[in-house]
Amino acid sequence: MNFGDIHAAGAPILMAVGGCVVLLTDLASKRSATRKFGTFLAILFCIASMVCSYTLGGQLRTAFSNGIAVEGLVVTMQILLAAIAAITIVASSEILQSFHLPKGEYRALILLASAGAMVLVQSLDLVNAFVGIEIMSVAFYVLAGYRRAQAASEEAGAKYFLMGAFVSAILLFGIALIYGSVGLAMKANGLELPQGYSFTNIVTISKAIHQVPGFGTSPLFLLGAVMLIGSLMFKAGVAPFHMVAPDVYQGAPAPIAGFLATTSKVAAFTILMRFFTILAGADTGAAINVVVIGLALLSIIVGNTGAANQKSIKRLFGYSSVAHGGYIVLGLLASLGTESQAAAITAVTFYIVAYAITTIGSFAVVAWLGKDGEDADAISAYRGLGKRNLGAAITLGIFLLSLSGIPLTVGFLTKLGVFMALLSAGGTWVAVVALIGSAIGLYAYLRVISEMFFVDSTQQETSSTDGASKLVAVSAATLVIVMGVFPSQALLPSFEASVTAPPVSGDEVK
Amino acid sequence: MTLQALLSGQGLMFLFFAVAAIASGILVVILQNPLRAALSLVINLFSVAGLYLSLNAYFLATVQVIVYAGAIMVLFLFVIMLLNMGQANLNTSYRGVRTIIAFSSAIGFGGLMSAVALKGQPNVMLPADAMVTGSSAGSVEGIGKVLYNPNLPWLFAFEWTSFLLLVAVIGAVVLAGKRQQPSEDKA
């Protein structure tokens, strides 16, 4: 262990230290004085974390005895996670004030949840991944139930906790099965453990998959892999593990819902991408393909049809997040093919970044239009919004168009990228089913847009005081359009860097 | 594991503790009385401690007994008694579609696990030294040398686990602490 190791692990360390500092500052100073200073401190640590990630650059480096590996993809995701945390903290000042919620603990939990997500993103050893996912999840359960006085929030927290605890056990079971199968297979075939790697390391698993004949189809490994994939999919809110997602997003205040929806997806899908890179080109039979196709299509169908008849806009976004999880899984599916792998990883990364921006923005609009911290949750509240508050209506309209994948928004380009990767991997019928799902989703989103612009309403305009949410929403909408019109100039170079240095491959350890 | 290996001293130990662990685990789920379920959990934790012992993990077995079977179970029992949970408060009737789904998926998963355990085994006999007989890895010293060694991957996970506990503590304080100005909160 040396300075290089600390530097590689620096982004989550800075976030965690920031969490402690914010918490202690809050305890030490008087309540009224901490509001602005605590926010300032928290954002300072988020920026420090981003800078730390950025200075790592795109090249692959491992640290802590190969427990973690950082390269372009991880750096991109870490910067994204820190940005989400900073935006959430800025956008939450209104709800914290209105509901008299403890502020220092809130900021600390957001920072620590992001630290856990970053540990998950950079981990190469599944043990580290598990610790990261637990830090993130425990903070999530608390955040989902943060507004204790409201029954819906409490229910969301309790449901999320029970399901999440169960899934963590399944994840750990899966990791244990993989550990056992890798160890047995390597001992039986006289393979040496790669120097400095443990049996739970992705590199070791990759060695077993690519060098032990029949390992990829052995039931012990497959069961472990399916349990691992399934529980990570739960963390990302993919159907049929989506049951809690709409409840949680509806119950939690809008900025928290936005944070939960984006951070969980960014973290879980990044580690899944890493796990899938070692499955690419390996003989794992049909099992993993069937599971992944099933999860993707089910999510797209369930998410889009579920969104179609919602009365609550936060539930609509909840189902929309399920559907978008499905599209991301389609991209992961394409990354299982060796030829389409590079394109698929780029597409998935771009999709995750774009989804994060759109979702944070959508929930910010819900908070912006709310009154006294209460979210504008009922879709009927948006009736005739175009006449009352044109700016808000256009902003929300941009997000809804992006979520449905209309050209000139970033949502179109991301869907296009995933479908192109899928077609080059040979998944034509899968793409057709997914497109039908998108058409159903289009109805769900356009219904809200028509409510806003084409239906008259007698509702009075409510003057909002939530300037922070307004700022977040408008800047996110601008980004959605800019990235949709000039994709290459805005963000694409950094993704190409990430694809040239995939975390691990089978060849690397041979 | 072959039949011969199962009938050795260590194999019999394993069989005893494994059967006890699974049986008491099932009892935890199906017993209606929460007190009895909690006491079954104690048996389960002791059996797992026995499994650790048969793997020469002395320290882990001791910690399992002291922390889980001792401290945590006492807390469990306190909570059950404080809430005065009788059978009357619990809706545990074994009826309805939900129960059928629960039972069939439990049996299905059990069958899947057994099939994998029986068939999925690669045809391999572990060398004799694979058993950790006489190894010091399970002692306090052995665990310390592995856990705190910067040249092994576990230090990183160990340090982050402390943050996991910190998050849990903050969460417990936030969710269970006194509410600030409850009169102004909107229900």
Q: Which amino acid is at A50?
A: M
| A503: in domain | no
Decide if B129 touches A, using CB distance below 8 A. no
| A130: in domain | no
Domain count, chain A: 2
Contacts of A220 in chain B (CB under 8 A): 116, 120-122
Rounded to a whole number, what is the distance in Å from the CA of A406 to chain B's nearest CA? 39
| A132: in domain | no
Inter-chain touch B175–A150, beta carbons under 8 Å: no
A21, A136, A148: best to mutate for the B interface, most B CBs within 10 A: A148
A63 bridge partner residues: A68
Q: How confident is the model at residue A82 (pLDDT cuts 50, 70, 90)?
A: very high
Across the range A337-344, mean pLDDT stands at 81
| A263: in domain | no
Contacts of B179 in chain A (CB under 8 A): 148-149
Rounded to a whole number, what is the distance in Å from the CA of B72 to chain A's nearest CA? 17
Inter-chain touch B174–A142, beta carbons under 8 Å: yes
Nearest alpha-carbon partner for A448 in A370, A362, A332: A362
Compare CB distances from B116 to A105, A130, A223 and report the shortest one's residue.
A223
Q: What percent of chain B has pLDDT over 90?
A: 28
Here the ipTM equals 0.89
CA angle, A59 as apex, A55 and A65 as ends, to 5°? 95
CA angle, A495 as apex, A88 and A235 as ends, to 5°? 50
Highest mean pLDDT pick, A30-34, A144-148, A266-270, A381-385? A266-270
Which range marks the domain in which residue A416 is found?
Answer: 282-494
* Count of residues making up chain A: 510
Contacts of A188 in chain B (CB under 8 A): 122-124
Q: What letter does residue A460 receive in the DSSP assignment?
A: P
Rounded to a whole number, what is the distance in Å from the CA of A295 to chain B's nearest CA? 18
pLDDT for the residue B144: 86
pTM for the structure as a whole: 0.90
DSSP notation for A213-265: TT-TT-HHHHHHHHHHHHHHHHHTT-TTS-THHHHHHHHS-HHHHHHHHHHHH
Record the tokens describing residue A274, joined without a space.
Answer: 């890493």
Cα A110 to Cα A263: distance, rounded to the nearest angstrom: 10
Decide if B101 touches A, using CB distance below 8 A. no
Q: How confident is the model at residue A361 (pLDDT cuts 50, 70, 90)?
A: very high
Backbone angles phi, psi at A125, to 5 degrees: -100, 135
Cα A183 to Cα A199: distance, rounded to the nearest angstrom: 6
Compare CB distances from B120 to A66, A128, A218 and report the shortest one's residue.
A218
pLDDT for the residue B25: 93
Across the range A275-297, mean pLDDT stands at 85
Inter-chain touch B120–A115, beta carbons under 8 Å: no
CATH 1.20.910.10 holds for B1-89 = no
Cα A375 to Cα A56: distance, rounded to the nearest angstrom: 39
Rounded to a whole number, what is the distance in Å from the CA of B70 to chain A's nearest CA? 22
| A212: in domain | no
Name B154's Cβ contacts closer than 8 Å, sequence gap at least 6: A127, B146, B147
Across the range A189-212, mean pLDDT stands at 83
Least confident interval from A313-322, A393-402, B10-19: B10-19
Inter-chain touch A116–B163, beta carbons under 8 Å: yes
Across the range A206-234, mean pLDDT stands at 88
CA angle, A166 as apex, A137 and A355 as ends, to 5°? 45
Q: How confident is the model at residue A510 (pLDDT cuts 50, 70, 90)?
A: very low
- pLDDT tens figures, A256-274: 999 999 999 999 999 999 8
Cα A166 to Cα A177: distance, rounded to the nearest angstrom: 17
Inter-chain touch A109–B153, beta carbons under 8 Å: no
Q: How far apart are the first and last CA of chain A?
A: 25
